Amino acid sequence: MGNHRHHRRATEEKRVTIVASTDSETEPGTDSPATWGKRDDMIVRARSPYNAEPPAAVLASSDITPVEAFYARNHGAIPDIAAQQWRLQVSGCVDTPLTLTYDQLRHEFEQHEVVATLACAGNRRAEMLRVQPIPGKEPWEHGAISTARWGGVRLADFLQAAGTQHSEGLHVAFEAPDVAPEARPVQTYGSSIPLSKAMSSEVLLAWQMNSEPLPPAHGGPVRVVVPGYVGARSVKWITAVTVQPGPSENYFQARDYRILPPEADPDSVTSGEGIALSSLTLSCDILDPTDGDHVPPGALTIRGYGLAGDGRSVERIDVSVDDGLTWQQAVLQSPASAWSWRPWSLTVDVESGPLHIIARAWDDTGALQPESVASLWNPRGYGNNAWARAALCVQ
């Protein structure tokens, strides 16, 4: 997405300290666990558990997001797990239940890399909040999405080694040790994906992020990366994998990461109610400039990304600077992989006065993003993939 702004280079990344997060840590800006090696200008949504997103213009400045700018979404305290202590168990519908060490995982399986965008289901919730309030949920703006080069082994190879059975309709559940106080009842984080997705070549047990050891804040020593699915399924600090007949009963799979009808009361929904979020939906966003920016008259370069659903591709981004009367096609970059966002840009000439920019994406099936955020509003504020809008002032 170009390096048009001053931003810190990846080589200046702070090293992550391997200590569990607590409220008592020092203030952001110091090299402490409270910042988890992140940039000083991260928008911190919660300090404990640590939740933060980068400013949109920072995201726009690189196709692969440096670790120091990558958003962090945590439902519990970040656990401190030494690689040598870590174990991964697989059980359930397998012929040979296994327990593997970190060294076994790294050396007994072929290594692979996948560039993949992780997107939180709550990304762009802030726009939904303007339609109707959503109490108790983080008001993520544009930055609960980032792209990394993930390195590890294929989950499929690991499942194969355990002799996973291949009956129709099986699911693969993931367990992690971090305890989520918001869950009802309070429990550790977990989720699941269908076995058919788990066996695809892009799904990794990853221990590397941008060619460095996976930092604790992002699931180190080992996490699952499920490209093409909402970030919630990419379980961090993975410790157990179960092949089972149905989806995970974990709170975050069975009750939380679901689209509920607008009139539903999220506090009284039962397990399995609503639509479980899985494949990403077609979306795009404007990252630079954004709402409220002031820009000088003349040439203005607008930058953003498009992201298609599981296995599909972004084919066109239309941009309007006259409230949708006319549309111009943005210049699309090649995506880094089939699982990565597709950066785009467009340079337009702007005159003094208010400016409304709209962007919308089309995919390879001819599908277009939904126009209005109001039509997508849901009680937990998930899945906002409405047309992207930015209102700014040219002066």
CB contact burial 291-325 (16+ within 10 A = b; e otherwise)? eebeeeeeebebbbbbbbbbebbbbbbbbbbeeee
> 65 near 147, Cβ under 8 Å?
yes
Give the closest residue to 122 by CA, choosing from 155, 145, 106: 145
**Interface with ligand MTE, residue 255, by CB under 6 A:** no
How many residues lie near ligand MTE (CB under 6 A)?
A: 19
> 50 near 59, Cβ under 8 Å?
no
Residue written as token pair 């404990």: 48
Stretch that binds ligand MTE, among 164-172, 230-238, 277-285, 352-360 (CB under 6 A): 230-238
- Nearest-approach distance from CB 155 to ligand MTE, in angstroms: 15
Amino acid identity for residue 228 in this structure: G
Q: Of residues 148-177, which lie at the interface with ligand MTE (CB under 6 A)?
A: 176
Decide whether 231 or 335 has the Cβ nearer to ligand MTE: 231
Q: Of residues 342-381, which lie at the interface with ligand MTE (CB under 6 A)?
A: none
Instruction: Pick left, alpha or beta for residue 237 (phi over 0 → left; psi -120 to 50 → alpha; otherwise beta).
Output: left
Decide whether 18 or 367 has the Cβ nearer to ligand MTE: 18
**Interface with ligand MTE, residue 236, by CB under 6 A:** yes
- Nearest-approach distance from CB 10 to ligand MTE, in angstroms: 17
Stretch that binds ligand MTE, among 55-63, 129-137, 235-243, 316-324 (CB under 6 A): 235-243
**Interface with ligand MTE, residue 341, by CB under 6 A:** no
Backbone angles phi, psi at 96, to 5 degrees: -130, 95
**Interface with ligand MTE, residue 390, by CB under 6 A:** no
The contacts of residue 260 (CB under 8 Å, 6+ apart) are: 266, 269, 273, 274, 378, 379, 380
Decide whether 138 or 318 has the Cβ nearer to ligand MTE: 138
Residue written as token pair 């997001």: 65
- Nearest-approach distance from CB 366 to ligand MTE, in angstroms: 29
Q: Of residues 111-140, which lie at the interface with ligand MTE (CB under 6 A)?
A: 118, 120
* Identified binder of ligand MTE from the candidate list 62, 65, 164, 234, rule CB under 6 A: 234
Distance, first Cα to last Cα, the chain: 25
Q: How far apart are CA 326 and CA 377, in angstroms?
A: 27
Decide whether 179 or 295 has the Cβ nearer to ligand MTE: 179
**Interface with ligand MTE, residue 218, by CB under 6 A:** yes
**Interface with ligand MTE, residue 39, by CB under 6 A:** no
Q: Of residues 59-88, which lie at the interface with ligand MTE (CB under 6 A)?
A: 70-75
Give the closest residue to 257 by CA, choosing from 192, 331, 346, 173: 192
Stretch that binds ligand MTE, among 232-240, 274-282, 284-292, 322-330 (CB under 6 A): 232-240
Strand partners, 302: 346
Q: What does the binding site for ligand MTE look like in residue numbers (CB under 6 A)?
A: 70-75, 118, 120, 176, 178, 189, 218-219, 231-232, 234-237
